[in-house]
Structure 1
Amino acid sequence: MSAGKSVRLFLADGTPGGLLTAEIMNWTGHVVAAPRSDLAELLKRPETSRTGIYILIGEDPASVGGLIAYIGEGDDVSRRLYHHARPGDQGGKDFWDRAIVLSSKDANLTKAHARYLESRFIALALQASRATLTNATTPPPLALPEADVSDMEYYIAQAKIVLPVLGINIFRSAPSVDAGSPGLFDLDSQRQMSPVFELHLKKEGLLAKAQEIDGEFTVLAGSQTRTQWTATQHEGYRRLREKLLQDGTITMSDDGITMHFTRAQVFGSPSAAGAVILGRAVNGRTDWRIPDSNVNYGSWQNQGLETTAFSTADADENAFG
């Protein structure tokens, strides 16, 4: 089991959708995030006048649930944010609706550090493929002394823990495992082990495999899918499938009968994954199953509940007062 982390969140205006800050104990990094409507308040924060990294995020109208992002750096991040807030026809950026600023509490980040971090965060976002980047270039990492590289890589590792807590998942890479992997695996000490779940369509010989990894339902590379969408409803799932076809995540198999995932793909739910694979509505909690057992995904999620001190009788008593 991995060691726990304490992430301290502060809601600056007392609302969950407003400006907030995030820190990890014993980490010199500092994160502040705000919706675009609170940009004026964000620019007043002392953190934004420091050297640091910023991320602009908005919804991608060209894809279902997709994101557009821009990653930049600056000696005075507030000036860069002010520039990006201008209308598009004045050199600004119109797509974003949230800004995240990463700086250092001890103000020890230099311009060279920021340029290194910018390059690494861009590379991580491209690798993760969870957002469309609008950066025109992908600068190579700046050469730094060995000790500084170590410090910056630690900074990145901590930022990758904090940012998902704020709902920023654009740097979370899908695992590099495929459907032929063993039933259990441990990507690293911070990722939960999970059994492999299978989804079958026996009449077409179709087989897909998935795991819950780091809290996300992930279809493994090599999993097969139907070639056609067969449902007349569930337009959102159909559009999601089309997006995965367009970006190469799903492609035709050599047999010409099925299609398959070229890489691991994270889905918002097992039902969304099943619908994309079978081309119709699926109850993901019951249809995804551990092979050679009667355990489905929903049962696996609820494992251990019967051994808790909070019994069914207690639950019924509390439910009815």
Structure 2
Amino acid sequence: MSVGKSVRLFLAEGTPGGLLTAEIMNWTGHVVAAPRSDLAGLLKRPETSRTGVYILIGDDPDSLGGSLAYIGEGDDISKRLYMHARPEAQNGKDFWDRAIVLTSKDSNLTKAHARYLESRFITLAQQANRAKLINATAPLPLTLPEADVSDMEYFIAQAKIVLPVLGVNIFRSAATIETLPSAVNSPTVSRRSPVFELRLVRESLKATSVEVDGEFTVFTGSGARVVRNHSDHGYLRLRRKLEQDGTIVPSENGSAMRFERDQVFASPSAAAAVCLGRSSANGRTEWRVVGTGISYGNWQNQSVERPAGPLEA
């Protein structure tokens, strides 16, 4: 049984796109985020003068909907952010348009803790493959006492809950879901989502997927149709991007394509269109529950209770 979490958000400027803070009850960690246009306000916050880690995020011009990210640490994060705000000609960074700072409310994070967190967050971002990291190096985690390692891993676990609430998904990985190789042969992967499959019998194409936390993940090894003529229409642009970055590769005989790794999609329709090599597709009908033939759309409707009382004509 999953346990609920209470995340407290505070819009410091009263606007959803401005500076905000985030906390979880009984967690000593603290998150503050702001757009680059509000960097001056962020630097005035007392949190940024503490020891901790920070994340810089911006759009990746070479990837459809992709992101660039930089993860760093510092004894005084405000000094690091000030340096990164300089032009690239002055050793700054131009790519980012948002900064996220993670510190401790009780100021108990040390330099060693921050370096451990930096290393672990870089590793998690690399594993999730949600953003292109521009870190020049990926330092190895420092050797900490066993109790400190436990504390830092708890800090990371809580941060991975808070950050997606802020729209920061670079650490969310399909590998954290119960996606064992045998999962596709099981009727369910989690209590919330069954395994779905998409089939194209005449081309012997089969793809499998699950829905977790509002995201649709297609499994490694899933099939995809060969696209002869790519275009910029609909999801064909996304399909081309996934082929270029090695997510979708040719099969051994070249007659089909397959997913080289798990891939997260924003919707079942996006996943279906990419698998089928089309500019669009109806994911609610294309994906069906393994072993039952129930469509994704009907599976969703099964959990919706009929409202009490007569319905209006």
Give the TM-score of the pair, scaled to structure 2: 0.93
CA contact (8 A) 2:193 2:212 kept: yes
Q: Please provide the CA RMSD for this pair.
A: 1.8
Verify: 1:185 aligned to 2:183, yes or no.
no
The 2-side partners of 1:132 and 1:235 are apart by 24
In structure 1, give the amino acid aligned to 2:41: E
- Residues 55-79 of structure 1, C-alpha deviation per residue, up to 9 Å, x if partnerless? 0000001011100000000000001
Q: CA deviation at 1:262?
A: 1.6
In structure 1, give the amino acid aligned to 2:216: F
Number of aligned pairs?
A: 308
CA contact (8 A) 1:177 1:221 kept: no
The 2-side partners of 1:243 and 1:298 are apart by 28
| Alignment partner of 2:256 out of 255, 258, 270 | 258
Partner secondary structure for residue 13 of structure 1: coil
Q: Which residue of 2 aligns with 1:189?
A: none
Once the two structures are overlaid, the 10-residue window that deviates more, 31-40 or 214-223, is 214-223
Instruction: Extract structure 1 runs of 4+ deviating beyond 4 A.
Output: 229-232
CA contact (8 A) 2:272 2:281 kept: yes
Distance 1:75 1:226, change over 3 A: same
Q: CA deviation at 1:52?
A: 0.6
The 1-side partners of 2:230 and 2:262 are apart by 24
CA contact (8 A) 2:53 2:101 kept: yes
Q: Which residue of 2 aligns with 1:26?
A: 26
After TM superposition, the structure 1 = structure 2 runs for residues 111-260 of structure 1, keeping only pairs within 5 Å, are: 111-175=111-175, 176-178=179-181, 180-186=184-190, 193-229=192-228, 235-260=233-258
- Residues 84-139 of structure 1, C-alpha deviation per residue, up to 9 Å, x if partnerless? 01111111100000000000000000000000000000000000000000000010
Q: CA deviation at 1:242?
A: 1.9
CA contact (8 A) 2:220 2:262 kept: yes
CA contact (8 A) 1:22 1:31 kept: yes
User: Could you list the runs of 5+ residues in structure 2 that have no partner in the other structure?
Assistant: none
Partner secondary structure for residue 138 of structure 1: coil
Q: Which residue of 1 aligns with 2:95?
A: 95
Q: Which residue of 2 aligns with 1:106?
A: 106
After TM superposition, the structure 1 = structure 2 runs for residues 303-314 of structure 1, keeping only pairs within 5 Å, are: 303-309=302-308, 313=311
Partner secondary structure for residue 168 of structure 1: coil
Q: CA deviation at 1:230?
A: 5.5
The 2-side partners of 1:312 and 1:278 are apart by 42
- Residues 241-266 of structure 1, C-alpha deviation per residue, up to 9 Å, x if partnerless? 12222222111122432111122110
The 1-side partners of 2:201 and 2:303 are apart by 31
User: Could you list the runs of 5+ residues in structure 1 that have no partner in the other structure?
Assistant: 187-191
The 2-side partners of 1:33 and 1:240 are apart by 29
Distance 1:231 1:282, change over 3 A: farther
Distance 1:260 1:312, change over 3 A: farther
In structure 2, give the amino acid aligned to 1:301: Q
Q: CA deviation at 1:282?
A: 0.8
Partner secondary structure for residue 40 of structure 1: helix
Distance 1:130 1:229, change over 3 A: farther
The 2-side partners of 1:12 and 1:74 are apart by 24
Distance 1:230 1:274, change over 3 A: farther
The 2-side partners of 1:242 and 1:183 are apart by 32
CA contact (8 A) 2:230 2:240 kept: no
The 1-side partners of 2:61 and 2:188 are apart by 37
Q: CA deviation at 1:231?
A: 7.1
Partner secondary structure for residue 302 of structure 1: helix
The 2-side partners of 1:206 and 1:159 are apart by 39
Q: Which residue of 1 aligns with 2:69?
A: 69
